[in-house]
């Protein structure tokens, strides 16, 4: 047995800055370098380390067994510079294998980089390859706190994670629980492409002001999964004040202009009260008639490409609703009514309307449109309009602004 570590009494404490003196340079060098370089602040308590050496003679000695560790309090842990470190950390650094070191954190705080503190529920790190030229670290962090602060942390450019998304996350509100995993080689200069990042968040009471095609998502319960390759977001909430199921997928990888970088689907099944609230908000309260317990089913799909081109496709089953128009047309609940169409976008400006259809008793529409050169809007051509006994066709201009 070649060396036994220092073990202070319960009243004694050492600074983490003294660890480089306490920890022999030849013992678990990779772990020693990381701990002494990335845990600069804090106190050490209850240090114990036993090392057994094996070999034929002094010149051939190697570590046969190692066991021990140290407790830390008030520590600062830099898990990926220049990311904000964990602070006020209490935990244990343990080594029970010559090739592996484990760090377990029982309490602490995580700053989001903008002055907001996130509760650290637990964290850990495993450093492997201590006896080899290169070491590898796996960091796991479990956080809980304000959604905006957690999204700000995940958007840090060093992670190359949500900083890639075109989704507008500004002003996000709600509560989130985040489980975060980071794998990385323990080199002096780790490149972004060497990081292996996985983040899973459960979000409640969420609000995203510009979630889908400029529409707000409110009072949502969501699950987020993100890696450096992409992100998915799914759950339920209010879109345009209508109860909705949401599925969103984003591709962060590089690709050609035709690459699909975002796909989102929203399915709405709203009762009459919710539909009436939504149309009143648009000044169209007169559209919904009757007092029945009817509902509407609407499906919306959004697809965006790297080129800036995008489309919004929608299909609505309005059969259960009682509807009316201020031109003498109406339909009762139960009479078939469907509407569908696709809006074409170019950098958030309307570029065209594809296959707009409305089918209801006594009311039929067929239309399409495109943006004309040197024109401020989109030319909508109605090839068929039937309203009662009236038959007509025509053309109108639709503003193309965002």
Predicted confidence (pLDDT) per residue in 46-55, tens digit: 888 776 666 6
How confident is the model at residue 61, as a pLDDT?
61
pLDDT at 10 over 50: no
What is the band of 299 on the pLDDT scale with cuts at 50, 70, 90?
A: very high
How confident is the model at residue 336, as a pLDDT?
94
pLDDT at 6 over 50: no
How confident is the model at residue 199, as a pLDDT?
98
If one compares 166 and 355, the residue with the highest pLDDT of the two is 355
How confident is the model at residue 218, as a pLDDT?
94
Lookup result for tokens 């002494």: 36
Q: Cβ contacts of residue 117 below 8 Å, gap of 6+?
A: 109, 110, 111, 145, 149
The domain limits of the chain are: 1-133, 254-402
3-state secondary structure the chain: CCEECCCCCCCCCEEHHHHHHHCCCCCCHHHHHHHHHHCCEEEEEEEEEEEEEECCCHHHCEEEEEEEEEEEEEEEECCCCCCCCEEEEEEEEEEEECCEEEEEEEEEEEECCCCCEEEEEEEEEEEECCCCCCCEEEEEEEEEEEHHHHHHHHCCCCCCCHHHCCCECCCCEEEEEEEEEEEEECCCCCCHHHCEEEEEEEEEEEEEEEEECCEEEEEEEEEEEEECCEEEEEEEEEECCEEEEEEEEEECCCCCCCCEEEEEEEEEEEEHHHHHHHHHHCCCHHHEECCCCCEEEEEEEEEEECCCEEEEEEEEECCCCEEEECCCEEECCCCCCEEEEEEEEECCEEEEEEEEEEEECCEEEEEEEEECCCCCEEEEEEEEEEECCEEEEEEEEEECCC
What is the band of 321 on the pLDDT scale with cuts at 50, 70, 90?
A: confident
How confident is the model at residue 128, as a pLDDT?
95
pLDDT at 288 over 80: no
The distance between the two most distant Cα atoms of the chain, rounded to a whole number of Å, is 106
Predicted confidence (pLDDT) per residue in 231-261, tens digit: 999 999 998 778 899 999 999 999 999 999 9
How confident is the model at residue 48, as a pLDDT?
80
Predicted confidence (pLDDT) per residue in 63-107, tens digit: 667 788 889 999 999 999 999 999 999 999 998 888 899 999 999
């Amino acid at each position: 047995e070649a060396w036994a570590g220092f073990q202070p009494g319960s009243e004694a404490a050492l600074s983490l800055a003294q660890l480089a003196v306490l920890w022999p340079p030849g013992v678990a060098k990779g772990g020693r370098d990381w701990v002494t370089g990335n845990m600069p602040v804090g106190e050490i308590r209850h240090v114990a380390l036993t090392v057994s050496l094996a070999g034929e003679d002094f010149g051939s000695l190697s570590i046969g067994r190692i066991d021990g560790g140290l407790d830390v309090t008030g520590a600062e842990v830099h898990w990926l510079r220049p990311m904000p470190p964990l602070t006020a950390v209490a935990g244990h650094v343990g080594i029970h294998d010559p090739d592996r070191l484990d760090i377990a954190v029982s309490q602490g705080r995580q700053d989001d980089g903008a002055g907001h503190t996130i509760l650290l529920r637990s964290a850990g790190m495993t450093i492997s390859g201590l006896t080899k030229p290169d070491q590898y670290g796996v960091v796991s962090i479990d956080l809980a706190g304000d959604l905006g602060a957690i999204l700000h942390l995940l958007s840090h450019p060093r992670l190359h994670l949500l900083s890639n998304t075109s989704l507008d996350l500004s002003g996000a509100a709600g509560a989130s629980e985040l489980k975060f995993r980071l794998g990385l080689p323990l080199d002096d200069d780790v490149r972004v492409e060497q990081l292996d990042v996985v983040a899973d968040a459960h979000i409640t009471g969420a609000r995203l002001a510009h979630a889908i095609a400029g529409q707000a998502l409110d009072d949502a319960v969501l699950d987020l999964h993100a890696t450096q390759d992409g992100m998915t977001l799914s759950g339920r909430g209010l879109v345009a004040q209508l109860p909705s199921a949401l599925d969103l997928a984003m591709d962060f990888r590089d690709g050609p202009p035709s690459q699909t970088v975002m796909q989102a689907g929203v399915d709405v099944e709203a009762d009459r009260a919710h539909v009436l609230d939504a149309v009143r908000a648009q000044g169209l309260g007169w559209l919904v008639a009757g007092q029945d317990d009817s509902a509407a089913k609407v499906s919306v799909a959004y697809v965006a490409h790297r080129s800036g081109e995008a489309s919004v496709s929608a299909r609505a089953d309005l059969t259960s609703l009682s509807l009316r128009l201020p031109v003498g047309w109406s339909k009762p609940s139960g009479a078939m009514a469907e509407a569908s169409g696709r809006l074409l976008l170019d950098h958030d400006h309307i570029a065209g309307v594809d296959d707009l259809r409305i089918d209801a008793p006594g009311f039929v529409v067929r239309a399409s449109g495109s943006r004309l050169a040197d024109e401020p809007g989109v030319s909508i051509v109605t090839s068929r309009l039937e309203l009662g006994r009236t038959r007509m066709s025509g053309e109108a201009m639709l503003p193309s602004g965002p």
